[in-house]
Amino acid sequence: VDSYKVDGFSQKHVLITGCDSGFGNLLAKQLDRKGFQVMAACLTEKGAADLAATASPRLKAFLLDVTDSASIRKAVESVSREVGERGLWGLVNNAGRSTPIGPSEWMKLEDFTKVLDVNLLGVIDVTLQFLPLLKKARGRVVNVASILGRLSLTGGGYCLSKWGVEAFSDSLRRDMQHFGINVSIIEPGFFKTNVTRIDLIDANLRRLWSRLPQDVKDSYGATYFDEYVKAQTFSMGLLCSPDISKVTRCMEHALTARFPRTRYAAGWDAKLFWIPLSYLPSFIADFIVNVILPSPKQKM
């Protein structure tokens, strides 16, 4: 049953957000090679130009800011003209950002909203605006969550946003099944993409630490920051897989299978470690996570 495919790829339009790099970029090329009519949304002109240069003339790369409703409306108008009465077969909400992440006490409200605006509210806005076109095609919505939508390992907006994507996707799936729309959730483990770039994470952690009041820094201790960065670097190096096709194969299955799954866990760490850990009692999961991260100097 898992291997049964829909047909007529060349007549099916798929819109993917976040195609400048990473999962979205690879998926756009992958589906283009399969014959799909791919519409690849990029945040930067360079990202759009680079992608278009490596794909067939069928692929249309364009600019889209998922945090800007007007930008989304413009994309809907353009896509609507392109797809006509066939509608939109697939929407892949892939655009995302990870930073700022770190201990919750180091954050300000805007640190949360920066991430939530892209990873959660952007997903919701894009989906709602494209739903009429998806209903026409009785199509597919593929939302990229994370294994951190099952287990919160760090403070900041990232885990919150991915839990939100899980919840939004579950409610959307139940609402839209009456109209023949399938909704799938992709739950990647750790992969080498811009989201997990340790230099970006390091720079953001330094920014957060540098603005903390001295009494807060003192409560963590002089060595805490360096130990925290070291723990992040070690865990990313250990866990991050360079083979991002493990994720895009899940996305492709969700778009092409006759019976797509509700959830796809991608990566050995997701399947063998994080998902089992998420089912354990909280105090056990907390203990295991705390083994990885350093403890503040003034812990009670």
Q: Which of 182, 183, 178, 181 is nearest to 167 (CA)?
A: 183
Does any domain span residue 215?
no
Per residue in 55-67, pLDDT (tens digit) is 999 999 999 999 9
Does any domain span residue 198?
no
Does any domain span residue 297?
no
Give the pLDDT score at 3. Answer: 79
Does any domain span residue 45?
yes
Does any domain span residue 265?
yes
Give the pLDDT score at 238. Answer: 85
Give the pLDDT score at 74. Answer: 98
> Average pLDDT, whole number, for the chain?
95
Question: Residue 14 belongs to a domain with what CATH number?
Answer: 3.40.50.720
Per-residue confidence band for 292, with pLDDT thresholds at 50, 70 and 90: confident
The pTM for the full model equals 0.94
Per residue in 208-241, pLDDT (tens digit) is 999 999 999 999 998 999 999 999 888 888 889 9
Is 158 catalytic? The answer is yes
Does any domain span residue 133?
yes
Per residue in 53-100, pLDDT (tens digit) is 999 999 999 999 999 999 999 999 999 999 999 999 999 999 999 999
Give the pLDDT score at 244. Answer: 97
What does DSSP say about strands 140-144 and 182-188: parallel, antiparallel, or unpaired? Answer: parallel
Tokens of 17: 């957000």
* Residue 280 vs residues 120, 158, 284, 285, 291: alpha-carbon distances, Å: 26, 22, 6, 6, 16
Per residue in 171-185, pLDDT (tens digit) is 999 999 999 999 999
Give the pLDDT score at 300. Answer: 56
Q: Which domain holds residue 97?
A: 9-192+242-288
Residues in CB range of 93: below 8 A, 6 or more apart: 17, 122, 123, 126, 127, 141, 142, 143, 144, 165
Does any domain span residue 232?
no
Task: List the catalytic residue out of 4, 158, 220, 228.
Answer: 158
Give the pLDDT score at 297. Answer: 80
The residue-averaged pLDDT of 275-293 equals: 93
CA distance 61 to 49: 7
Task: Report the chain's terminal Cα–Cα distance, integer Å.
Answer: 54
What's the structural domain count of the chain? 1
Lowest mean pLDDT among 31-45, 113-127, 149-163, 192-206: 192-206
Tokens of 146: 């994370």
Does any domain span residue 228?
no
